[in-house]
């Protein structure tokens, strides 16, 4: 059995920070293992000029990493869990979800706008969505964020913006946008948590499925599966993300449709097993039609919870909303 663990990672600064974190956790738990990172470029990293929704979302940021796993070129692949399709290739599996960071979305305002309204930098600076001027341009390539933002502020113009975090922050200034929306977890991992002007509440904007967690993918017959899971896995996060992914799969969703979900594991239930509170959102592209739902269930059946809430949304007409979006 080899003592070398090769981690496949995208080459963006955020992806490398995440992979380095995974490498360090493995080394801490199993110091006898040698851990190296191999950079693998994905389709989503190469095609930066087209909107995400027009590229297709079947493994846009993961397919090349999965190919490397199947070919034996790497032992692990580190993904942002929100990038993972609900269908995993045969022979591969998500062996661990890491403990979640802050799952919220944050609004990153143009520094000029902050100065104009007299707000300070950071989440405590006093800036809010009400301070964004009417008709202002906000950058986002996420249909989920677009839908929920326009449901709150239909006067805004949402324009596509792609690239790594620093590229997006630069485009906000260069292209004179009011701001953009990013994941709090990504900003924190990059040491840029202070860039966020305010965090959206879950009543305003639910996150992407799996947001804030890392998904560790490997061959299901890898000889060090148990060691790697023990070093990286976080059960409450795994239960929560399982419920969210089951809902997404039942709605046949992905990057091309505005679906959001967040499951929260809480202490309670039979024998202290815990309960999951799952919230979900489906909306039209312009935010004019929105649908929210919530359900609580024992944490011993997270997939059942996700499927149940998806069925409820479909019964209320979510399928019609999603079918119309797919037809566009």
Query: Which CATH code fits 1-98+212-233?
Result: 3.40.190.10
The per-residue pLDDT for 121 is: 74
- How many residues would you count in the chain? 328
Higher pLDDT, 146 or 328: 146
DSSP 8-state assignment for residue 82? G
Task: Phi first, then psi: give them for residue 200, nearest 5 degrees.
Answer: -75, 140
Q: Over 60: is that where the pLDDT of 182 sits?
A: yes
Q: Which CATH architecture has domain 235-328?
A: 2-Layer Sandwich (3.30)
- Asked whether this chain's domains 1-98+212-233 and 105-199 adopt the same fold, the reply is yes
For 105-199, the fitting CATH number among 3.30.70.20, 3.40.50.1360, 3.40.190.10, 3.20.20.150 is 3.40.190.10
pLDDT tier at 57 (50, 70, 90 boundaries)?
low
| Annotated catalytic residue 83 | yes
Tokens of 123: 């989440």
**CA triplet 197, 203, 209: central angle to 5 degrees?**
85
The per-residue pLDDT for 325 is: 87
Domain extents in the chain: 1-98+212-233, 105-199, 235-328
Q: Over 60: is that where the pLDDT of 47 sits?
A: no
CA dist., res. 119 & res. 127, Å (int): 6
The per-residue pLDDT for 56 is: 54
pLDDT tier at 252 (50, 70, 90 boundaries)?
confident
CA dist., res. 103 & res. 251, Å (int): 21
pLDDT tens readout for residues 274-308: 999 999 999 999 999 999 999 999 999 999 999 99
CA dist., res. 328 & res. 323, Å (int): 9
Q: What string of DSSP letters covers 140-199?
A: ---HHHHHHHHHH-TTSEEE---S-HHHHHHHHHHTT-SEEEEEHHHHHHTT-GGG-SEE
Q: Over 70: is that where the pLDDT of 58 sits?
A: no
CA dist., res. 283 & res. 206, Å (int): 11
Q: Which of 49, 57, 83, 301 is catalytic?
A: 83
Q: Which of 182, 175, 173 is nearest to 159 (CA)?
A: 175
DSSP helix/strand/coil, 71: helix
Given the structure tokens 């509170």, which residue do they identify?
277
pLDDT tens readout for residues 217-232: 999 999 999 999 999 9
pLDDT tens readout for residues 91-144: 999 999 999 999 999 999 999 999 998 887 778 788 999 999 999 999 999 999
The per-residue pLDDT for 55 is: 47
Q: Are 126 and 159 in contact (CB under 8 A)?
A: no
The per-residue pLDDT for 5 is: 95
Identify the bridge partners of residue 12 per DSSP, sorted by sequence position: none
């Amino acid at each position: 059995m080899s003592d070398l663990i090769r981690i496949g990672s995208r080459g963006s600064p955020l992806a490398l920070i995440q992979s380095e974190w995974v490498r360090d956790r493995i080394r801490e738990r199993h110091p006898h293992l040698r851990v190296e990172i191999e950079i693998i470029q994905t389709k989503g990293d190469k095609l930066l000029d087209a909107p995400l929704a027009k590229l297709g979302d079947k493994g846009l940021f993961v397919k090349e990493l999965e190919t490397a796993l199947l070919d034996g070129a790497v032992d692990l692949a580190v993904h942002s869990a929100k990038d993972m399709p609900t269908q995993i290739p045969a022979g591969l599996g998500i062996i661990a979800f890491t403990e979640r960071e802050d799952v919220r979305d944050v609004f990153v305002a143009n520094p000029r706008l902050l100065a104009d309204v007299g707000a300070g930098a950071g989440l405590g600076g006093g800036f809010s969505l009400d301070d964004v001027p009417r008709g202002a341009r906000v950058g986002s390539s996420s249909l989920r964020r677009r839908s929920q933002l326009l449901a709150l502020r239909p006067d805004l113009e949402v324009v596509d913006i792609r690239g790594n975090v620093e590229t997006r922050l630069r485009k906000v200034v260069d292209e004179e946008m009011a701001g953009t929306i990013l994941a709090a977890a990504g900003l924190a991992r990059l040491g840029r948590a202070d860039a966020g002007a305010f965090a959206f509440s879950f009543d305003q904007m639910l996150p992407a499925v799996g947001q804030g967690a890392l998904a560790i993918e490997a061959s299901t017959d890898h000889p060090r599966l148990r060691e790697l899971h023990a070093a990286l896995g976080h059960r409450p996060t795994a239960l929560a993300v399982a419920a969210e992914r089951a809902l997404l799969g039942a709605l046949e969703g992905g990057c091309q449709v505005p679906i959001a979900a967040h499951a929260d594991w809480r202490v309670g239930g039979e024998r202290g097993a815990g309960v999951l509170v799952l919230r979900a959102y489906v909306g039209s592209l312009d935010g004019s039609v929105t649908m929210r739902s919530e359900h609580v269930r024992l944490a011993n059946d997270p997939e059942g919870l996700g499927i149940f809430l998806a069925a409820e949304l479909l019964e209320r007409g979510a399928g019609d909303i999603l079918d119309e979006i797919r037809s566009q």
